[in-house]
Amino acid sequence: MGIFDGILGKKQPQIALFVDGPNIIRKQLNIDLREIKKLVSKHGNIRIARIYLDQFASDKLIEAMVNQAFEPKITTGDVDVTMAVEATEQIVNPEIDIIALMTRDTDFIPALNKAKERGKKTLIVGIEPGFSVALRNSADILIMINAEEVAREQKRDFRPYGQQAPRRDFNRQNRPPQQSRPPEKPPEQKPAEQGPAQPAPKPPEK
């Protein structure tokens, strides 16, 4: 690879991308991680792409992460600790140039500072609204995702964590208004037909 680097010029930066699953994989956010990889790839080649999940992650979710070209890491302990340890391991990896984290947790700031001390660039993928200012200022490269815009593009209602969308009766909404009908008149009754008049009976003869 070094030979081609000399011929073609400076090599592309190598990126290690780590995703904080419990803080990112939420129905309220509905983030497409394939789009995240496209944005991160603009800054270099993603050499490592891992997503960290807890023991409650379903098989369907794990399969979805594999289909999006992520390596799932399932942990029974604290997800943040496992992710921070593995991100720190890549700081001393000479093949990695950029440490990229997708998280909302400020607990990763020490790992970012350590990466800078070792001469690595740091990249943060954050989600608005409510993203930490301290975490924003800790990265050399910042990619921000606006969850409200994502929801509008997908024609969904954005709602903050813990807030449920109001229930809607779509059948009732889509039902055309019913017009009141006038009360039906009872059918007219025809008078009974009468036969020819009968002569009055004669009085009895005396």
Pair 120, 94: CB distance under 8 Å: no
* 80 alpha carbon, distance to own chain's centre: 21
**Cβ contact 96:127 at 8 Å:** no
Q: Rounded to two decimals, what is the model's pTM?
A: 0.67
Strand order across the beta sheet in which 121-128 lies = 71-75, 45-54, 14-20, 98-102, 121-128, 141-146
Cα–Cα distance between 54 and 74 in angstroms, integer?
Answer: 5
pLDDT at residue 157, rounded to an integer = 45
Give the pLDDT confidence score for residue 173 in this predicted structure. Answer: 46
pLDDT less than 50: residues of the chain: 1-4, 6-7, 28, 156-175
Question: Which CATH topology does 9-161 take?
Answer: Rossmann fold (3.40.50)
Look at residue 205 in the predicted model and tell me its pLDDT: 60
